[in-house]
Every structure is written in C-alpha cells, then in structure tokens.
Amino acid sequence: MSTEPEVSFTNKIDQEIKIEPKDWMPEQYRKMLIRQISQHAHSEIVGMLPEGNWITRAPSLKRKATLIAKVQDEAGHGLYLYSAAETLGISRQEMLDQLHSGKAKYSSIFNYPTLTWADIGAIGWLVDGAAIMNQVPLCRSSFGPYARAMVRICKEESFHQRQGFEILLTLSRGSDAQRAMAQDALNRWWWPSVMMFGPKDDESPNTLQSMRWKIKRFSNDELRQKFIDVCAEQVKFLNLELPDEHLKWNEETRHYDFGPINWTEFWQVVNGNGPCNKQRLDARRKAHDDGQWVRDAAAAYADKKRQQQSQAAA
Amino acid sequence: MNQDWPLWEVFIRGRQGLDHKHVGSLHAADAAMAIENARDVYTRRMEGISIWVVESRNIHASNPEEASSLYDPANDKPYRHPTFYDLPEALKHM
Ligand SMILES: [Fe+2]
Ligand SMILES: [Fe+2]
C-alpha cells in the first residue's frame, strides 16, 4: 500500500517534475542522493591533487594559467555539489569527516599518479571526457539542486577537455620523445578512464532503482560504450593509439568492440589499494588540518565584529 | 574551537537591467567573506555584476505541502488573464 505522499512523489518522477529539498521523498531516495552527490563532490576535490602536482612545472605561462583555472573550477564543482547535498540534511562537516576517515569513496581514477606533463593532457581529454559523458545526463536528474549544479558544472567542463586534447595534439606533433610521452600517458590512463563508469550493469545493484527514480538516466555500460565510441574516433586526430588490441568498429552493433576490462584492478583501487590512495587521503587531511587556524581566525573575527555591532546598537 | 561557518544563499544580477537570481549557497564566517567567496565560486566567468548574500536562516519559505490551500485564492480566477475575454478576430492592438 502506498501512502499519499508516496503517490504524489512517484507522480512527479513520472511526469518529469523535479523534486525539491522540502518536498516529501522516500528515505531511500534521500540516502541514495546523499551518497551519490557527496561522492561526486569528494571526487572533484580529490581530483585537484593529481593535477595540482603539475601547476609549478607546467611548460609555459599559458599552460600554467590554464591549469590553475581548471583546478580552480574543480574546487568550485566540489562546492556546488556539497551545497546540493546539504539541502538533503547532511552537514558539510559530516561529509568531510566521511572523506577524511576513508568511509566515503571518491572516483578511483584519482588514485593514479601523474608522472609526466603528458598526463595532464590525458586527464583533460579522457578523465574530464568521461566525467562529461557521465554528467550531461545528470543535468536532467530528478532532484532539483543536483540537476542545477550539474548544469553549471557541464558549462565549465568543456574547456577542461579541450585544453587536455590540445596538450596531446601539441605533443603528438612534436619530437619523437614528445610523441612517445603522449603515447605512454594514453597507455596508462585509458583503462582507468574506461573503468570510471563503474562496475558492469549486472554488478551494480543500485543502478536499477536509481534509474527508476531518474537520478541516473543511463546505465554504466551504456555510458562506457558511448565514451569508447567517441574516443576511438577522436584518437585518430592525434595519430596515437588507444592501448586495446581488440578495439574495432563493429558494423552490426554500430559500436566499437573492446577488450576485457581488468576488474580485479578496479576493485583493488576502490578498496584502497591503488597506487596513490594513501597519498591522496594524507594530502587531503593535511590540507584540512593545516587550514584549521584560518577557519578559527575567521570565526573569531566574525564573532568580534558581531559583538562590536551589538554593543554599538545597545 | 570548532565552529561551523553559517550557510549563505547567493543571488546574482547577471546584467544591468535583470533581476538578482538565486544561484546557490556557500559557507562563510561573515557577510564580507560570503560576498568574496560568492565572487570566486559563482562569477569566475563574468556571470554577474552584482551579488547579494543572505544568511540562509533568515529566509522563510512557504511549505510545499500547503501549496494547494496557499494558492487556492488564485486558482478560480481565469478572468485575470487577457485570454479570458472573447473579442472579434479583426480587432487589432488590444
Ligand atoms: Fe569537475
Ligand atoms: Fe573538469
């Protein structure tokens, strides 16, 4: 038996009417959103670390300015998403605690190291590319604040991908050593990017309910296939290769076939044993702890101001 | 000391002549910091020429569950709309 608010909730979902924070919603819907949005926010924030690693070593002033702008955007994305999650009743502090204690997950792609400058190109093209593939349909997500945050984010993402591709394009037209560096970056980033879409549909227990509630619009495998189809075409402009000997256009399915994904590696990284999991979390915690005196000082200053104002008024 | 900064709602005027529009929220210790943070978070690409910030706890909202009774007074007054009136097709500029 469905109660009255449940019926009205389901009707809204069916009619593509957005759910807003004060509307009634099933507890499971709220939980699922908090999990997804906060994980998404953590990914934006932790995602600044591998790229931030190259800001001081970018090869030109133009590249440095671009990279700073991109990393700053990612900080903004994290903030939009934390705010969206907060409308569901979880506090910022709680989310940060979950991230810092290791309880909350973030995208496992950010647990890989950025070894050369070409990695910044590969991240922009592939990692931001995969993120965009995932995020564009989320602009129509059924929860209003999440959908609106995603619209803002998607507007900003497109330069991220283009600057990455431009880095690779420049390297691919450079010396042999530069071409080799670009190829090496693709070799290392391709499969982790393909895994960014998450486990296969039949191993992703939440997908069905999430799609029924129109939080997600496409399954992991659908998005993954789309991404591979697009990249297999784009790589031709680079005269480089994606490291998959099985990658081949299939006239019948009208999609690219691709080779087996190393799911053991995926689960290893998700469960904390990737190349940089510890380093990322340590950096994150240190940044937070080192900022404590700034937060304290700002709060003390605001308190003092308020007291002065109330004294002046008295 | 572990004091959570309050939440602020941010409103931005995109261009001269437009309304301030709600764009999102953020945490800040005081109003001045809220405006600076809003500039950094919501206007990195010249999206605004004026920023308002309001502490979220000062916003009073209508309750969506009472929507039907709240808006009831307007619900049965179609005569407030121009299309309610039947006039000859040939009549211009009215
Ligand atoms: Fe982002
Ligand atoms: Fe990005």
Q: What percent of chain A has pLDDT over 70?
A: 99
Nearest CA in chain B to A153: B42
Interface test with B, best of A45, A74, A80 (most B CBs within 10 A): A80
Q: Which ligand is nearest to the CA of A129?
A: 2
A56, A120, A200, A247 from A53: Cα distances, Å: 7, 10, 32, 32
Q: Are A196 and A226 in contact (CB under 8 A)?
A: no
Whether A22 has its CB under 8 Å from any CB of chain B: the answer is yes
Using CA atoms, how far apart are residues B39 and B10, in angstroms rounded to an integer? Answer: 10
Residue A1's pLDDT is: 54
Provide the pLDDT confidence category of residue A206 given band limits of 50, 70 and 90: confident
A100 contact residues in B (CB cutoff 8 A): none
Side-chain-facing half-sphere of A272: CA atoms under 13 Å: 8
Q: Quick one: closest CA in B to A300, which residue? A: B29
Q: What is the pLDDT of residues B7-55, one digit of tens each?
A: 999 999 999 999 999 999 999 999 999 999 999 999 999 999 999 999 9
Check whether B72 has a pLDDT greater than 90: no
Looking at chain B, which residue has its C-alpha nearest residue A149? B24
| Digit-coded pLDDT (tens) for A31-82 | 999 999 999 999 999 999 999 999 999 999 999 999 999 999 999 999 999 9
- In whole angstroms, give the CA distance from residue A185 to residue A155: 26
Q: Shortest Cα distance from A105 to chain B (angstroms)?
A: 23
Residue A276, phi then psi, degrees to nearest 5:
-125, 10
From ligand 1's centre to the CA of A145, what distance in Å?
Answer: 16
Q: What 3-state DSSP class applies to B54? A: strand
CB–CB of B25 and A83 under 8 A? yes
Task: Give the predicted TM-score (pTM) of the model.
Answer: 0.93
- Is A273 within 8 Å of chain B by CB? no
**Whether the predicted pLDDT of B2 surpasses 60:** no
* Residue of B41, B61, B63 with shortest CB distance to A79: B41
Map tokens 């900022």 to a residue: A291
Q: Is residue B60 helix, strand or coil? A: coil
Q: What is the predicted pLDDT for the residue at B3?
A: 65
- The closest CB to that of B44, out of A76, A91, A295, belongs to A76
Residue of B nearest to A76 (CA): B41
Query: ∠ at Cα A126 (A125, A127), nearest 5°?
Result: 110
The span from the CA of B47 to the CA of B41, in Å, is 11
When mean pLDDT is compared across A39-43, A136-140, A181-185, B79-83, the lowest value belongs to B79-83
Please report the residues numbered 229 through 258 in chain A whose beta carbons come closer than 8 angstroms to any beta carbon of chain B. Answer: none
- The pLDDT score that the predictor gives to residue A107 is 95
Q: How confident is the model at residue B1 (pLDDT cuts 50, 70, 90)?
A: very low
What ipTM was estimated for this complex?
Answer: 0.87
Mean per-residue pLDDT for A245-259?
Answer: 97
Answer yes or no: do B7 and A86 touch at CB < 8 A.
yes
The whole-angstrom distance between A302's CA and the closest CA on chain B is: 6
What are the backbone dihedrals phi and psi of residue B68, each rounded to the nearest 5 degrees, phi first? Answer: -65, -40
The answer on pLDDT for A103 being more than 70 is yes
